[in-house]
């Protein structure tokens, strides 16, 4: 299938990175051409879905939340399994933090591509990054390139997966958000692994976020407003 229009679907988690990507897509494709999609995957912290809806609303783009509530049944990760606490150290066997949800990005991209296909949307935008990331193998450019190829083959389409943050540090991502006029929207984002507002300031996600803002010399609007 060849799509002639330039419509984009942004995977919006309600976090800092995907919100930056939303504004990147608006600048590149135009507000009217952009839709944001979230996944209700059974995450423990429902607050991020509220954040995503608010961010899309304020950005003036269409928004959809797809229910794919199956991850908790797989178990074992700290983001969906209520019996597992977030730990800062790495699993001795896998070398990954226990916030890694196996297959999550692959499944998100598959659903997003299917949703996009039905609406003749060619461009998918995701905020994954391999710099300063948490060691998640599904955030690497190699994984995303391979996934794009799989989606193209599997759906006989010319879908493109954009990763504007792939090689940016957290500092550079904050700078990009500033350039795109997305800083105000950061006040509505959610990053904390402990799911609290104001953020805990101590979990790995909070620490990484704080480092990025500090290095960019920008005050985090989330900290300022809550």
Q: Which residues bind Zn ion (CB under 5 A)?
A: 192, 194, 199-200, 203, 206
| Residue 14 near residue 55 (C-beta atoms within 8 A) | yes
Please give the radius of gyration of the chain, using alpha carbons only, rounded to the nearest integer: 17
Q: How far is the CB of 200 from Zn ion (least distance, A)?
A: 3
Q: In angstroms, rounded to a whole number, what is the distance separating the alpha carbons of residues 200 and 211?
A: 14
Q: In angstroms, rounded to a whole number, what is the distance separating the alpha carbons of residues 183 and 206?
A: 17
Q: In this complex, which beta carbon is closest to Zn ion, that of residue 48 or of residue 61?
A: 48
Q: In this complex, which beta carbon is closest to Zn ion, that of residue 127 or of residue 199?
A: 199
Q: How far is the CB of 215 from Zn ion (least distance, A)?
A: 18
**Which residues face 160 on adjacent strands?**
123
Q: How far is the CB of 115 from Zn ion (least distance, A)?
A: 30
Q: In this complex, which beta carbon is closest to Zn ion, that of residue 128 or of residue 192?
A: 192
Q: In this complex, which beta carbon is closest to Zn ion, that of residue 42 or of residue 199?
A: 199
Q: Give, as one character, the DSSP assignment of residue 138.
A: G
Q: How far is the CB of 15 from Zn ion (least distance, A)?
A: 12
Q: Give, as one character, the DSSP assignment of residue 164.
A: T
Q: At what angle do helices 16-29 and 170-179 cross, to 10 degrees?
A: 40
């Amino acid at each position: 299938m060849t799509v002639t229009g330039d419509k984009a679907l942004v995977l919006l988690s309600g976090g800092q990175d995907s919100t930056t990507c939303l504004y990147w897509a608006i600048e590149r494709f135009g507000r009217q051409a952009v839709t944001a999609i979230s996944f209700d995957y059974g995450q423990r912290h429902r607050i991020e879905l509220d954040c995503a809806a608010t961010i899309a609303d304020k950005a003036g783009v269409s928004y959809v939340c797809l229910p794919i509530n199956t991850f908790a049944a797989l178990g074992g990760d700290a983001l969906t399994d209520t019996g597992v606490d977030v730990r800062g150290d790495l699993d001795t066997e896998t070398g990954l933090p226990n916030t890694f949800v196996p297959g999550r990005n692959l499944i998100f991209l598959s659903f997003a591509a299917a949703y996009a296909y039905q609406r003749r949307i060619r461009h998918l935008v995701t905020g994954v990054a391999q710099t300063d990331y948490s060691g998640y193998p599904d955030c690497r450019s190699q994984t995303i390139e391979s996934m794009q190829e799989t989606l193209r083959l599997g759906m006989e389409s010319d879908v493109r997966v954009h990763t504007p943050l792939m090689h940016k540090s957290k500092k550079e991502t904050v700078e990009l958000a500033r350039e795109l006029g997305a800083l105000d929207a950061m006040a509505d984002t959610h990053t904390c692994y402990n799911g609290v507002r104001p953020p805990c300031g101590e979990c790995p996600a909070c620490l990484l976020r704080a480092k990025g803002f500090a290095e960019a010399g920008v005050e985090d609007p989330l900290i300022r407003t809550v």
